Amino acid sequence: MRVSELVERSGVPLASIKYYLREGLLMPGESTGATQARYDERHLKRLRLIKALTDVVGLSVQKAREVIAVIDEPVADPFDNLGRAIAALPPYTDATGDAPRARAVLERLGQVCDPSYAGVAQLERALEAAEAAGMPMSDERLAVYGEHVRAIAEFDISGVPDDPAAAVEYSVIGTTLYEPVLLAMRRLAHHDAAYRRLRGAEPGSAEPSAG
Amino acid sequence: MRVSELVERSGVPLASIKYYLREGLLMPGESTGATQARYDERHLKRLRLIKALTDVVGLSVQKAREVIAVIDEPVADPFDNLGRAIAALPPYTDATGDAPRARAVLERLGQVCDPSYAGVAQLERALEAAEAAGMPMSDERLAVYGEHVRAIAEFDISGVPDDPAAAVEYSVIGTTLYEPVLLAMRRLAHHDAAYRRLRGAEPGSAEPSAG
């Protein structure tokens, strides 16, 4: 397809497409003349990914490029590719020091603890904040969360495609776009459980009158 | 204690304490003279809550006041108090219209669906975003997430204190400060599961050499 059709089908303005081409986020089309090029479904798919990363996840173009670089130039080890891609996602933390709370949790859960992985500092900060607010996570709560989060993660990882580029795309979208789904589902499950407990409704019973 | 001790023990500057008193977030101390008042543990606890809401959760003072108003002026129905408090928390959405995706998910999970509850619009937006990125949540994924999120939520709700003010505080802190813990734990569980799958390590085995 021509670039005009790419604009129409992707909903991305021409100026942005040119910018992504210049910055290397979008791969060049097949040249069909001095000022023309042909694009295909790969370009549409890539634009959809760029839109998700910048508009929905809120990444800067620079950070989106880091993710895309992993897709375009994967290293041999698929595990390292995932690590590189996830490291380009928020929340960012420059903490690389000791993470005693996170380490203790991971040890109890029997999970690998690699302090160079950004998630370790992320967990440490989150545990610290709950502590500072006077409501530290109890061991019992960590065990319950850990068990069920683990089951969700096993399901997620079982779906990682074998193709390295597809694996990175799956992991990045699955991390950033399913996180808000998970949080909304938790709030709604709270709503449901509180409704049943506080209003004394029967499980599986009807809807509240509100709405 | 005097206000000077309150400053010292809370770590909140005097100017902020005066501001919170003026704005009604912090309850007045017991007057002991024309320009003096005595403060106690309730004030320390309240300052810790205000700090968590503004510094960690990132609420504006106006939004923090909405949460605190529910604690200070609870209505008779504890379920309504929780709803009012949670509605003051981000993410904010002004959508109140139809939420067909969220409704379908909640129906399948057998949970109450009350469109006036902010979580419904939040779930709708999150499902929409995943769809737009070309990776909609499959029914199977929604069922797996739903089951385990439900178990986490049941645990959370079983701990709601009976005292109305304490219940609101528990719910607000538990919602906003445990969400980042949950997300970090999911990323770390991914890391662990991917490590085992892609590096072929044995479950429960040692740490990666990195770090």
Interface contact flag, B52 A114, Cβ < 8 Å:
no
Quick one: average pLDDT of A29-52? 92
Sorted by where each begins, the domain ranges of chain B are 1-56, 57-199
Find the range with the poorest average confidence among A139-148, A164-173, A196-205.
Answer: A196-205
Give residue-wise pLDDT tens across range B6-49.
Answer: 999 999 999 999 999 999 999 999 999 888 899 999 999 999 99
- Which H or E run includes A37? strand A37-38
Query: To which residue do tokens 């528990």 refer?
Result: B170
Q: In which element (H, E) is residue A65 found? A: helix A61-72
DSSP class of residue B25 equals: S
Gap from B35 CA to chain A (nearest CA, Å)? 30
Residue of B nearest to A194 (CA): B157
Distance CA A56, CA A53 (A): 6
Confidence of residue B79 (pLDDT cuts 50, 70, 90): confident
Give pLDDT tens digits for A151-161: 999 999 999 99
Interface contacts (A, B; CB < 8 Å): 281
Mean pLDDT of B67-85: 88
Tell me if chain B has a CB within 8 Å of the CB of A14.
no
| Confidence band for A46, pLDDT divided at 50, 70 and 90 | very high
User: B33: exposed, middle or buried (C-beta count within 10 Å: 0-12, 13-18, 19+)?
Assistant: exposed
Report pLDDT for A193: 93
**A38, containing H or E segment:** strand A37-38
Nearest to A199 among B79, B122, B130 (CB): B79
Q: What's the confidence (pLDDT) of residue A83?
A: 87
Q: Is residue A191 less than 8 Å (CB to CB) from chain B? A: yes
Q: How many CA atoms lie within 13 A of B84 on its CB side?
A: 22
Q: How far is A69 from chain B, CA to nearest CA, in Å?
A: 18
* Test mutation, B108, B116, B181, B207, chain A, max A CBs within 10 A: B181
- Chain A residues closer than 8 Å to B211 by CB: 113-117
* A179/B174 touch (CB, cutoff 8 Å), yes or no: no
Written as one string, the DSSP assignment of B69-110 is HHHHS--S-HHHHHHHHHHTSSSP----S--HHHHHHHHHHT
Asked whether A171 and A82 are in contact (CB, 8 A), the reply is: yes
Residue B90 pLDDT: 87
| Beta-strand pair A30-31/B30-31 | unpaired
**Mean pLDDT confidence for A129-150:** 94
B157 chain-A contacts, CB cut-off 8 A: 190, 193-194, 197
Which residues, 6+ apart, have CB-to-CB distance to B187 below 8 Å?
A86, A118, A119, A122, A175
ipTM confidence score: 0.89
Domain B1-56's class?
mainly alpha
pLDDT digits (tens, 9 = 90+) for B98-120: 899 999 999 999 999 988 888 99
pLDDT in tens, B138-180: 999 999 999 999 999 999 999 999 888 889 989 998 999 999 9
